[in-house]
Amino acid sequence: MFKTVFKQYKVKSTSPDLSEVVSFDEIDDNPEKDSKAQRISFNNEDTNWSEFPGLKSPRAWRTFVLKSHPGLLVIRNPFTDHGQRYWIARCLRDYPRAPNIVNLNERLFDDSVRCDWWKELQECKDPSERHRIKAAMRWTTLGYHHDWDTKIYNEHSKSPFPEDLSRLCQLFSSYLGYQDFRSEAAIVNYYPLGSSLSGHTDHSEPNHLAPLFSFSFGQTAIFLIGGRTLEEKPTAIYLESGDVLVMSGESRLCYHAVPRIIQTTNMSTDSLPNESKLENFKFLDIDLFEQVADSNYWQPFCSYIADSRININVRQVLKPGDLKLN
């Protein structure tokens, strides 16, 4: 059942029927409708969240839960445009750099591209080589590196987890009432239009109780969430730019997939006013935060995201109290 639905959305020859895909904005506009999701609120909205740069005030956040999966939450784009620019630039310029691991094959790309993909892409003048370099980037891993073959993390295969991303996840986890979340592994997925991610569960982490945080930027994904086996029919939802998906509780070990990316999002290329008080947030790359407000600096990132999606998928690996894998 999961695979049949996956193929219906992935179909190349025709456009798929999207009438069943859950759109959270529609639910918000029409809450009476017999919908598959509902809005929920948290009673901590007056807490002082110390104005994390790049995020709207939590009072303006809209959180939804899927009725079929009470542990699957979506916070519908809590980012400002400026915040989205920052995270997109981090995912393109910085996260794919050594010592983080990238998918680029050593037989197809030389070390300069494999160690600093974005810099080489910007410097490359040949259009067909540029296209080849751009389309080849599919994932980078941070913290404990995901092993795609064994699916087992290894104490000897990890790099430092970025402090900005860790603080961002900490903020969302405390907002949702999960204390003590530790960001220990992330996969950043890059999806050019036409790409997909087939059905899987994320079970490599010894800790299955901590939630998983997943951030979407750029073009819209159709995301399928199914059950604990491939027999169950999945629910399709849209994940749009800025959305934060949380897989917690029973949904944490459910099958999920991205069968299709749809081109819907146009990000502004204009310059943005700069934010103040950035000096209180030293864990951010403050220079980058300021640079992306400038339309010239932002231009190559905006052009990448015009036909691609980026997903940051953050997990806690270790059980509470553990300091390493055993």
Q: Does 145 bind ligand AKG (CB under 6 A)?
A: no
202 binds Fe ion (CB under 5 A): yes
Binding ligand AKG (rule: CB under 6 A), the pick from 27, 37, 237, 258 is 258
- Nearby residues of 171 by Cβ (< 8 Å), 6 or more positions away: 49, 52, 55
> What sign has the CA pseudo-torsion 203, 185, 169, 299?
negative
Q: Which does 260 bind (CB under 5 to 8 A by kind): ligand AKG, Fe ion, none?
A: none
Cβ closer to Fe ion: 84 or 251? 251
Binding segment toward Fe ion, per CB under 5 A, in 80-88, 152-160, 194-202, 300-308: 194-202
Query: Which residue number, 53 or 77, has a Cβ lying nearer to ligand AKG?
Result: 77
Q: What is the identity of the amino acid at 294?
A: D
Closer by beta carbon to ligand AKG, 53 or else 162: 162
Instruction: Give the binding range for Fe ion (CB under 5 A) out of 84-92, 161-169, 178-186, 197-205.
Output: 197-205
Q: Minimum Å distance from CB 309 to ligand AKG? A: 7
Beta strand 63-66 with 69-75: parallel, antiparallel or unpaired?
Answer: antiparallel
Quick one: 64 or 139, whose CB is closer to Fe ion?
139
Helices (H), the chain: 2-10, 24-29, 81-89, 111-115, 117-123, 127-136, 163-175, 286-291, 295-305
The DSSP code sequence of 205-256 is SS--SS-EEEEEEESEEEEEE--SSTTSPPEEEEE-TT-EEEE-GGGGGS-E
Laid out side by side, the sheet with 220-225 consists of 197-200, 256-262, 220-225, 235-239
Residue number with the smallest Cβ distance to Fe ion = 202
Cβ at position 238, least distance to Fe ion in Å: 17
The binding site consists of 200, 202, 256
Q: Which residues bind ligand AKG (CB under 6 A)?
A: 187, 189, 197, 202, 214, 221, 223, 239, 256, 258, 311, 313
